């Protein structure tokens, strides 16, 4: 099973961290008209408008095909030795190499006391590794490789978020588990600007609250 995590984000709020495997800039797609900008990608009306844009539909198909090719390359490579996969695969590979090396050392020592000592060392080492990586990383490695995809526009509410929603509505192979995330969809730049203006205004605090 390959996990595909697709994020929408807005460049106004900074880049996605860590960077995604596949990144797509939707700022070249025409922004929705003003009467739709109070909506976000959870609105069917907004998504239907964007689906009438040939550039949007073309990019939707491109992203879909790119992800399928990425998964295909993982399958052909065994899903372990490709740089574009998630860091958790490299973590799992490192742990496997540690276990292999420790098993060899155990075989070279006939003494039962020495074997028990090495087993204790392994128990002591593994919790440290897991603690430093975090539980989510280890769960990812157990579930298989993860590919991250980032669709971004200016604010992360309209074009990029709609792209993520439409990608989630496409048909995907059974060996793909899709997870969708909207980093900035609930952020409103206009509200933050208004709050800054409140601090600089000559109006009283109570007057501002009524606004």
156 and 120 within one domain: no
Task: Look at residue 177 and tell me if it is in a domain.
Answer: yes
172 and 199 within one domain: yes
pTM above 0.75, yes or no: no
Structure confidence by residue, pLDDT tens digits, 92-109? 454 455 555 544 444 454
70 and 149 within one domain: yes
Q: Which of 6, 159, 130, 134 is nearest to 70 (CA)?
A: 6
The range of the structural domain enclosing residue 201 comes to: 2-78+145-210
d(CA 63, CA 161): 14
Structure confidence by residue, pLDDT tens digits, 97-154? 555 554 444 445 444 444 434 433 443 344 333 333 333 332 344 678 999 999 999 9
Tell me how many domains the chain contains.
Answer: 2
152 and 134 within one domain: no
Q: Which of 54, 6, 7, 9 is nearest to 158 (CA)?
A: 9
Task: Look at residue 83 and tell me if it is in a domain.
Answer: no
72 and 103 within one domain: no
Structure confidence by residue, pLDDT tens digits, 31-68? 999 999 999 999 999 999 999 999 999 999 999 999 99
C-alpha to C-alpha distances, 84 to 19, 23, 87, 91, nearest whole angstrom: 11, 12, 9, 14
Structure confidence by residue, pLDDT tens digits, 9-23? 999 999 999 999 999
136 and 170 within one domain: no
74 and 12 within one domain: yes
Task: Look at residue 52 and tell me if it is in a domain.
Answer: yes
């Amino acid at each position: 099973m390959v996990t595909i995590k697709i994020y929408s984000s807005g460049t106004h709020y900074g880049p996605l961290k860590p960077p995604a495997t596949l990144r797509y800039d939707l700022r070249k797609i025409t922004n929705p008209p003003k009467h739709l900008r109070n909506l976000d990608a959870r609105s069917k009306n907004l998504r239907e408008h964007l689906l009438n844009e040939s550039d949007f539909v073309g990019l939707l198909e491109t992203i879909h095909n790119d992800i399928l090719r990425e998964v295909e390359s993982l399958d052909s490579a065994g899903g372990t030795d490709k740089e574009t996969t998630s860091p958790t695969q490299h973590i799992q590979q490192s742990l496997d190499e540690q276990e292999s090396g420790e098993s060899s050392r155990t075989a070279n020592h006939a003494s039962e006391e020495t074997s028990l000592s090495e087993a204790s060392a392994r128990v002591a080492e593994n919790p440290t590794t897991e603690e430093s990586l975090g539980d989510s990383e280890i769960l990812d490695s157990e579930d298989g490789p993860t590919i991250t995809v980032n669709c971004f526009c200016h604010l992360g509410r309209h074009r990029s978020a709609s792209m993520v929603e439409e990608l989630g509505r496409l048909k995907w192979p059974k060996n793909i588990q899709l997870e969708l995330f909207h980093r900035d969809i609930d952020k409103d730049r206009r509200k933050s600007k208004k709050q800054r203006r409140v601090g600089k205004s000559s109006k009283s605090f109570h007057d501002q609250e009524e606004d």
